[in-house]
Structure 1
Amino acid sequence: MDFLSDFLTLFLAKLQSPTLGFLIGGMVVAALNSQLQIPDAIYKFIVFMLLLKVGLSGGIAIRNANLAEMLLPAVFAVATGILIVFIGRYTLGNLPKVKTVDAIATAGLFGAVSGSTLAAGITVLETEDIFFEPWAAALYPFMDIPALVTAIVLASIYTSKQKSLSQQEPFGKQESLSKQSVAAGGYPTTRQEYRSQQRITAGGYPRKQNDRVKIWPIVKESLQGSALSALLLGLALGILTRPESVYESFFNPLFRGLLSILMLIMGMEATARIGELRKVGQWYALYALVGPLLHGFIAFGFGMIAHHATGFSPGGVVLLAVIAASSSDISGPPTLRAGIPSANPSAYIGSSTAVGTPVALALGIPLFIGLAQVLMGS
């Protein structure tokens, strides 16, 4: 009952938070057919500012940390972020009527990290006098950035394959192929049917076995994209320079206001595509309910290995699990919108803010603290 009460309390509080409030406001404005428009140039500037700020804060935290002590937990953070994306790609992405690009974007958002959830976890640990390494909070970019990059690369590979298959279909056979029985989501019902479609080329000849999508050009293009470039630039500047003065006087004060405008834009766009989410909303709700706890348990297991191998503190293990259970509300949405423009923001933002974040806050944090106390005696 206490978990349920805390969940409902935090869920209602989340509805009143500025971030979610502006998101809902944008959805309402769009639903009322308002003529309000935010110029695209302003949107791009806001995204640049937010991602540069996130990168700077992460770089500063890493520069001030003990890199030797961080090594194994950082490797586990990277592995967790990537693993979460693959789990979502092959679970949520295979559910009926769920579009693969939407599933990948949702998994990317859940693999990325929420700064507010991390702050909440730190606050609870400090309140209960549970020790954690001062650099533990700096683990978030190690999970956040790889998850976002992995999601963008997977989406690029998938869309490239889809385009390749459509271009290789013989003229006059597209109509007959479209009439074949396919599973929900547009996939062939049998493995043989799928393979037979893959082998067709524009001239009607079997497709070559080594005709695969090259991954490195996609990775390179992803890293050169505006969103990830801003994030990585901020990270590099935070590590290699000392931007604390400009960070505290310029970037930090503007952060919440810019984020609010961004969420307003996201809300307007989400409403424009809400019809697509209604068809599969139950699957996203289920994923957002189970995913945060599953992701947190995976990271907790990695943290236990680091605890026994290097003495990683129980509080650090908890924070690693908390950031894995969180879903990004800052760097994730704009990065995914820029990197996977074909994905529906209603899917990944709605499942994260409406279900995922309250689950991580109300259930995840106390659950992982309790596990740490039982298993490691923190």
Structure 2
Amino acid sequence: MDQILSLAGQNLLSPVILCFVLGMGAALARSDLTFPEAIAKGMSLYLLFAIGFKGGASVAEHGADLRLGMAVLMGLVLSLLLPFVAYALLRGLARGVSALDAAAVAGHYGSISIVTFVATSTLLQARGITFEGYMVAVAAVMEAPAIVSALWLATRKGSASGSKMSPDLWREILLNGSIVLLLGAFAIGWITGERGLNEIAPLIVTPFKGVLCLFLLDMGIVAGRGLRNSRGVITPGVLAFGILMPLTGAAFGALAGLALGLSAGGLAVMMVLAASASYIAVPAAMRVALPRANPALYLTLALAITFPFNLTLGIPLYMALASTLTGG
């Protein structure tokens, strides 16, 4: 417990987290602080490219083997499985939520938050803790399968008369910009290796933490506005789900990481991936696939409740547990 509290204290006092807190506080206070959409999009693209490239270079340095394939397969299984867990938990805690809305929410909790992944990798590196480079590939694989599970749930419960597995949806899933950029940068980093990383280090290494701080400042603003405008949507049961589901997902991630024999850092990352919720790829797909689902519910849950919980308390908890479980 002392280790968890110590990590939480260090995490809360890091520039990355304090920038997020600043943004959320500004939004709740109704400040006019904002980022132009183009700049926010540019920062997102930068972070995806940087983390993907560095992950690919790490795999090139250490070599790809059966462990990479097994880790990717495990990520795929988790992404398909977790929506069923989320659906059952939400329906149990918040009986007023419709089957359609529960299915839409479930899809978000089977996918991942790439920003939470980036923040975790940054905090691990700050503490000198390494993790397997191929976890970037696992993160990319876990973006989309949960959408399929969510649509199956919606159809199975007979509440998705407006849902459709259309060509537009498959294009949204397979060619989602975040997935394409993350995997593409990973491939480039893998091909060029350490030489390529050294060539562009001034772009993707040195300014990385500064850009991450600004990006999380913007995300804090967005999350704060979501909380401010979510009156009547976030009931006690829904709020409980937004905190209990990441803890449940992290438990599944821990079991998967231990089965794979991941290092302490890799186990922490796997727990974070399973504990996070998408607020970029999945909402875009849900707008196409389940247009009758309530975006105020699934966006507020993912971005304004689970995301802040993971950043402030979840990540230190997962890191401490990973260290304990691996003896690291």
Q: Same fold (TM over 0.5)?
A: yes
Residues 1:40 and 2:43 aligned together? no
Residues 1:248 and 2:201 aligned together? yes
Identity of aligned residues (%): 19
Contact kept in structure 1, 2:227 and 2:304, CA below 8 Å: yes
Give the TM-score, by structure 2 length.
Answer: 0.75
Residues 1:219 and 2:200 aligned together? no
Q: CA deviation at 1:150?
A: 2.4
Distance 1:52 1:110, change over 3 A: closer
Residues 1:144 and 2:147 aligned together? no
Of the structure 1 ranges 87-96 and 223-232, higher mean CA displacement relative to structure 2 is found in: 87-96
The 2-side partners of 1:118 and 1:259 are apart by 11
The 2-side partners of 1:11 and 1:64 are apart by 32
Distance 1:87 1:271, change over 3 A: same
Q: CA deviation at 1:267?
A: 0.8
The 1-side partners of 2:244 and 2:119 are apart by 23
Contact kept in structure 2, 1:22 and 1:261, CA below 8 Å: yes
Matches within 5 A, 1:307-346: 316=262, 318-327=264-273, 342=295, 343-344=299-300, 345-346=303-304
Of the structure 1 ranges 330-339 and 212-221, higher mean CA displacement relative to structure 2 is found in: 330-339
Structure 2 stretches of 5 or more lacking a match? Answer: 288-294
Give the TM-score, by structure 1 length.
Answer: 0.66
Contact kept in structure 1, 2:11 and 2:316, CA below 8 Å: yes
Q: CA deviation at 1:62?
A: 2.3
Match of 2:46 in 1: 49
The 1-side partners of 2:266 and 2:20 are apart by 28
Q: Who wins on radius of gyration, i.e. which is larger?
A: 1
Match of 2:23 in 1: 26
Which one of 258, 272, 277 corresponds to residue 225 of structure 2? 272
Distance 1:153 1:42, change over 3 A: farther
Contact kept in structure 2, 1:51 and 1:331, CA below 8 Å: no
Contact kept in structure 2, 1:110 and 1:328, CA below 8 Å: no
The 1-side partners of 2:267 and 2:23 are apart by 32
* Paired residue type of 2:182: L
Residues 1:293 and 2:251 aligned together? yes
Residues 1:78 and 2:75 aligned together? yes
Deviations 1:63-104 (A, max 9, x none): 233333435533444345424643554344434156533443
The 2-side partners of 1:198 and 1:233 are apart by 34
Distance 1:93 1:331, change over 3 A: closer
Contact kept in structure 1, 2:81 and 2:110, CA below 8 Å: yes
* Paired residue type of 2:87: Y
Contact kept in structure 1, 2:40 and 2:215, CA below 8 Å: yes
The 1-side partners of 2:80 and 2:257 are apart by 10
Structure 1 stretches of 5 or more lacking a match? Answer: 127-133, 163-190, 202-211, 304-313, 373-378
* Paired residue type of 1:36: L
Q: CA deviation at 1:332?
A: 6.2
Q: CA deviation at 1:281?
A: 1.8
The 1-side partners of 2:304 and 2:255 are apart by 27
